[in-house]
Amino acid sequence: MKYITLREEDRQLLLHLHDFIYLQREFIEKYIFHSYDNTASVYRRLRVLEEAGYIKAFMLPINDFDHRPSNVYTLTMFGSEIVEQMRGVVHWNRRWTTQAPPWYQHQLMIAELVKIFELKAPDHGLEMKEWITEARAFYEFRDLNEGKKNSKSRIRPDGIIVIGKPDSDQNMGIMLEMERSYATREKTLRKMEQFNEFFSRRDELLEKYDKKIGFDYPVKGWKILFVGANEAKTLKILRDLKGEEVNAEVPVMAASRQDVNENPYGQIYRYLTSPSEKKKL
């Protein structure tokens, strides 16, 4: 570990790694390290940051079809301390630094999706104002007098996207669920039950939730978005949730990862109330 002079792009990298835990080199080059002329220059700067102890690289396959591993980066504990100095608070687990967990690919996909929401928002007169990580979004609202833990009395979305018009307080919070390729109906229904339990008590819980998370921008409306690995998986999510529209406390929608990455503000979402047609957010 040694201190080096951090450039603004270095700081942005550390902040992004805190928000998404793992990032691949292609993401860093495309969205963060804009001032570098070529990939070799990006690698050199990443190596400087790694040798100084700010970040750590794992050689890992980017997806299930990759036969050659690539560099996937995360924060070191020293890097997380630098983020804490910048933000005042961090949500970091030492285990993420020591060993890449099986869900690292899931984080890579989330990072790409959230970045697309951010970059394409201005084209539609909107702004992605905030990304709330899974660690911050987790909330357990079990009553103190409950005899045993109720599995429905907690929510753990993969994150929350807050979007709205610039200079407006009328913002929407989208609870994101990036579904695994082999997600079971049981798992999907359990998540839906947890969301319904939470939002059925919105008058009691939303103010507490706001204080727990510390939203930078007020959230006036909520939606839940299930993202399937492909169109077939998206349709499976809708089949698994068939009939749940009766109990849904907020609008619930599903879309494929490809559609969201291509046009997140377009007519790509199937709502539980009308799953046969695609609509906008």
Q: Rounded to an integer, what distance in angstroms lies between the CA atom of residue 6 and that of residue 168? A: 34
> What is the Cβ-side half-sphere exposure of residue 57, based on CA atoms within 13 angstroms?
17
Whether residue 144 is predicted with pLDDT greater than 70 in this model: the reply is no
The pLDDT tens digits of the residues spanning 191-223 come to: 999 999 999 999 999 999 999 999 999 999 999
Between CA 2 and CA 18, with CA 107 as vertex, the angle to 5 degrees is 35
Main-chain dihedrals φ then ψ at residue 200, nearest 5 degrees: -70, -20
pLDDT per residue as tens digits for the range 234-266 = 999 999 999 999 999 999 999 999 999 999 999
Question: What is the model's pTM?
Answer: 0.94
- Is residue 106 within 8 Å of 142, Cβ to Cβ? no
Residue 66 pLDDT: 72
H helical segments located in the chain: 8-20, 25-31, 39-51, 77-87, 94-98, 104-120, 134-137, 185-200, 202-213, 231-240, 257-262
Domains and CATH numbers, the chain: 8-101 (1.10.10.10), 106-279 (3.40.91)
> Which strands, in side-by-side order, build the sheet including 274-279?
127-133, 159-164, 171-178, 219-228, 252-256, 269-271, 274-279
